[in-house]
Chain A
Amino acid sequence: EVQLLESGENLVQPGGSLRLSCAVSGFTFNYYAMSWVRQAPGKGLEWVSGISGGGGTTYYADSVKGRFTISRDNSKNTLYLQMNSLRAEDTAVYYCAKVPDIVLVPGAGAPWFDPWGQGTLVIVSS
């Protein structure tokens, strides 16, 4: 059974940093690209970042580019999201999600998300 498990709830002050983790099992991790998608309270879904199966290619939404860094440790079957210079508008539930392809290439392959983890709440507040 495929499982994705994000780290627990987190509260951080504006300007602070946080690293999210997503531990996976049930599939060959390095064969698949991964992504982070977030959802602000009561709002819709926003794609944040993606990474290829080997980790060599990364992608970011403009809203987080330069502040967030996605990475993965294929030896530990774990995906990460390093979040720096956090703002109140980064408050959201963060989901990790598996991409059904080794790369995340819009307009080719399988650039969608399945399955998703249960999500972890990040609150940026003073």
Chain B
Amino acid sequence: DIQMTQSPSSVSASVGDRVTITCRASQGISSWLAWYQQKPGKAPQLLIYAASSLQSGVPSRFSGSGSGTDFTLTISSLQPEDFATYYCQQASSFPLTFGGGTKVEIK
């Protein structure tokens, strides 16, 4: 199975800050990676697919980059509604696996 490791596990940031979350795959997955946002008590929502493609309706302050084993989700200017937990998911092979999550908290 491909293991997905996210870092940090949590980050404290202020509104307006630039936030970067990293996801590392245990083996190369090309660009087969997605990012999700989950707010407490709610279902996850797709933000980024194919490592860098922005899902329709997602604000442009979210961006994704990377290929192979190392990937990044960047929030260019953190907004109040962005405080949530973020997950990466590899889409390269079965079983589909997720990272452990990164909680973005208010500083």
Judge if A1 is at the interface, Cβ distance under 8 Å. no
Q: A115 at the A/B interface (Cβ < 8 Å)?
A: yes
B97 cross-chain contacts in A, Cβ below 8 A: 47
Which 9 pairs of residues, A with B, have the shortest CB-CB distance? Answer: A114-B46, A116-B43, A111-B91, A112-B34, A47-B96, A45-B98, A61-B95, A106-B93, A44-B101
Where chain B touches its partner, the secondary structure class is loop
| Contact in complex: A111, B98 (CB < 8 Å) | no
- Closest Cβ of chain A to B21, distance in Å, is 14
Interchain CB contact under 8 A, A106 and B91: yes
- The one of A95, A113, A118 in contact with B46, judged by C-beta atoms closer than 8 angstroms, is A113
Decide yes or no whether A59 CB sits under 8 A from chain B: yes
Q: In the complex the two chains form, is B46's CB within 8 Å of A44's CB?
A: no
Q: Is the CB of B43 within 8 A of A117?
A: yes
Q: Residue-by-residue, is B67-96 near A (CB-CB < 8 Å gives 1, otherwise 0)?
A: 000000000000000000001010111111
Interface size class, chain B = 20 to 34
In the complex the two chains form, what is the Cα distance from A61 to B55 in whole Å? 26
Whole-angstrom distance between the alpha carbons of A114 and B42 in the complex?
Answer: 14
Chain B residues within 8 Å of A, Cβ to Cβ: 30, 32, 34, 36, 42-46, 49, 55, 87, 89, 91-101
**Chain A residues, CB < 8 A from B98:** 44-47
- Complex contact A116–B45 (CB within 8 A): yes
Could you say which interface size class chain A belongs to?
Answer: 20 to 34
Contact B94–A106 (Cβ < 8 Å): yes
- Report the Cα distance A59→B101, complex, angstroms: 24
A69 to chain B, nearest CB (A): 17
Q: Are A112 and B95 in contact (CB under 8 A)?
A: no
Q: Is the CB of B49 within 8 A of A112?
A: yes
Q: With A44-B101, A45-B98, A61-B95 in contact, is A106–B43 under 8 Å at CB?
A: no
A99 CA to B101 CA, complexed, in Å: 21
Contact check: which of A44, A61, A115 meets B87 at CB < 8 Å? A44
With A106-B32, A112-B34 in contact, is A45–B93 under 8 Å at CB?
no
